Each structure stands twice: as C-alpha cells, then as structure tokens.
Amino acid sequence: MTGDPSDARLSAPEANLAAIASAQRIDRYLVELASLAEMNMNTVVGLVLNGAIVIGRIVSPQAMAHAVDEHILTSLKMSAAASPHDATAWEEAKQTVGGGNVKVVQEERQARQGMIARHRELYGDARVSPTEMPEDLARDIIDDATRVTITLADAHIFPPGIREPIDVSVMRVDVRQVGGWWIVPADPETRSASFAFPGQS
C-alpha cells in the first residue's frame, strides 16, 4: 500500500461487515447512558431482563473490574494461607494479576477518549459513515458502537413471581437480553433515585 496510511479506507468485505454491525447496533440511548457513566454521571434505570425486573444504577465498567480484581486477590490470599510453603509463588502471582482488570478498563477508556477526540478533529459533530473514515478509526468506531454490556451497581432483581428482590452490589448485563427499559426519576431534593418496588406504595 502506498501513500498516507490515514488515507486508507475499509476494504469491500470490511465495509459489508460494517453495514452488518450497524444493522445489529444496540439501543443507542442505553449506550449513551453507559458512556455518561464513564464520566461519573450515573443514571438509575429499570430493565425488563428475561422476564425479571432489574433496577440499578449504570456505572463505569471499572466497578465490575474492581470487584473481579478483589475476588482474585482474595482467592490468592486464601490459597496462600492453605499452602504457606508456596508463599513466594503466591506473592508473585498477586503482583502479576493484581489490579489487572482495572488497568485494562482504564486503558480502554483512554483509547475511547482518543477515538472521540480524533473523530471530532476530523469531522466535528457531523455523522460520517465508517466507510468514509480512515480504516483504523472506522474499526474503533464500529467496535465502540456495538458494545453489548453495561454495568449496574446497587441492583435489585425481581424474578417473576417473587416479591422480595435479590440485591446485588454490582452486575454485568448483556443488553441484547433487555426487552425494555426506562429511566427511574431522580428526587430533585436528594438528587437520588426515587422509586417504589413492585407491590409497594
């Protein structure tokens, strides 16, 4: 390939895949709320999820990454306590995996911010087809637009036929399983979500 690499565009097969990805794109409003959560602007939502009602606060993926890292470290500590003769090996493992998922989320956030900045530099606020963008930017745009999970904190799950909720501190939701959703109104005085569980007044 000759010329400026930034002039390269998606190949015909990649353009077809971009069209398919665009057709499969998930609810953009839900994605937008997930993006706001990256800036600590959390929204409480209700979800219809495989027959259950889920109410929770959309937060950054870093919340789940932190929970997973904490679980891994706790497991390593328990393993080290059970096998004290392998203490050095467990310490090395802790240094290797400790905080790894949080670091990945932070790196992904930085990459996304760079992608947004580059798009604005090239096109401002205009809507541009990925087929008209430099191929590396186009791939990043397609990948970002087809994210399929959101993270909820302080979630309450109401399975069908059960009045008492299952409380979960943090959970991941595959948005392809969401049958419907709504924003839970916030109380203007307390700036917190104000809602009643099903069956409550």
- Percent residues over pLDDT 90 in the chain: 24
pLDDT in tens, 19-36: 666 555 678 788 888 888
- Judged by phi (left if over 0) then psi (alpha if -120 to 50, else beta), residue 134 lies in beta
Beta carbons within 8 Å of 38's beta carbon, 6+ residues apart:
60, 109, 112
User: 6-28 burial by CB neighbour count: b if 16+ within 10 A, else e?
Assistant: eeeebeeebbeebeeeeeeebee
**Range scoring the smallest mean pLDDT among 37-46, 81-90, 113-122, 158-167:** 81-90
Dihedral (Cα; 196, 148, 151, 162), 10-degree rounding: 40
The pLDDT of 128-154, averaged and rounded, is 82
**Higher per-residue confidence, 8 vs 175:** 175
Least confident range of 23-27, 44-48, 60-64, 174-178: 23-27
Which has the higher per-residue pLDDT, 168 or 131?
Answer: 168
pLDDT in tens, 73-114: 887 777 766 666 566 666 666 666 667 888 888 888 888 889
Percent of the chain with pLDDT over 70: 71
Q: How far is CA 93 from CA 71, 83, 106, 162, in A?
A: 14, 14, 21, 42
User: 22 or 194, which is more confident?
Assistant: 22
Kindly tell me if the per-residue pLDDT of 194 is higher than 50. no
